[in-house]
């Protein structure tokens, strides 16, 4: 599976949009981009995933560049409960295994 690169930490003011970048320059055509988050001492939570089109759900939006080498997760109106470690993971179609990197520790500032 393609490796991903994320900034180790970010801060965002409460109520503002949080934009979390992820680089996956070696992604191949049959690999999806998945985002999970882990709040302290809990199991990870699925957020969103995409292949090449932008995606939106009730939690977030996922913007994937046209060349698919990077993506951005957008939390439109961050709240204190969004403080967590966010993981960007590239997953091969047909392979269910997730390889977690170090993620981005997002801190929402009141």
Partner 1 sequence: GAVVSQHPSWVICKSGTSVKIECRSLDFQATTMFWYRQFPKQSLMLMATSNEGSKATYEQGVEKDKFLINHASLTLSTLTVTSAHPEDSSFYICSATRLAETREQYFGPGTRLTVT
Residues in contact with partner 1, shown as a per-residue x/- string from 39 to 58 under the rule CB under 8 A: --xxxxxx--x---------
Q: How many chain residues bind partner 1 (CB under 8 A)?
A: 21
CA–CA distance, 5 with 102 (Å, rounded to integer): 9
**By CB under 8 A, what part of segment 7-46 binds partner 1?**
32, 34, 36, 38, 41-46
Q: How far is the CB of 78 from partner 1 (least distance, A)?
A: 22
Token reading at 71: 């993506």
CA–CA distance, 16 with 33 (Å, rounded to integer): 24
Contact at 8 Å (CB) between 29 and 82?
no
Q: Out of 9, 65, 99, 109, which residue is the one contacting partner 1 (CB under 8 A)?
A: 99
Token reading at 17: 């949009």
Q: How far is the CB of 87 from partner 1 (least distance, A)?
A: 8
CB proximity list for 32: less than 8 A, separation 6 or greater? 49, 50, 51, 90, 91, 93
Using the minimum distance from each CB to partner 1, give the nearer residue, 7 or 15. 7
Q: Contact positions toward partner 1, by CB under 8 A?
A: 32, 34, 36, 38, 41-46, 49, 87, 91, 96-103
């Amino acid at each position: 599976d393609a490796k991903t690169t994320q900034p180790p930490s970010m801060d965002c003011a409460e109520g503002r949009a949080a934009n979390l970048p992820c680089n996956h320059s070696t992604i191949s055509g049959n690999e999806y981009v998945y985002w999970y988050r882990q709040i302290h001492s809990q199991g990870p939570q699925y957020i969103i995933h995409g292949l090449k089109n932008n995606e939106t759900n009730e939690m977030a939006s996922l913007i994937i560049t046209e060349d698919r080498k990077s993506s951005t997760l957008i939390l439109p109106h961050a709240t204190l409960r969004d403080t967590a470690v966010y993981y960007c993971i590239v997953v091969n179609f047909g392979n269910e295994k997730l390889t977690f990197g170090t993620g981005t520790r997002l801190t929402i500032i009141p």
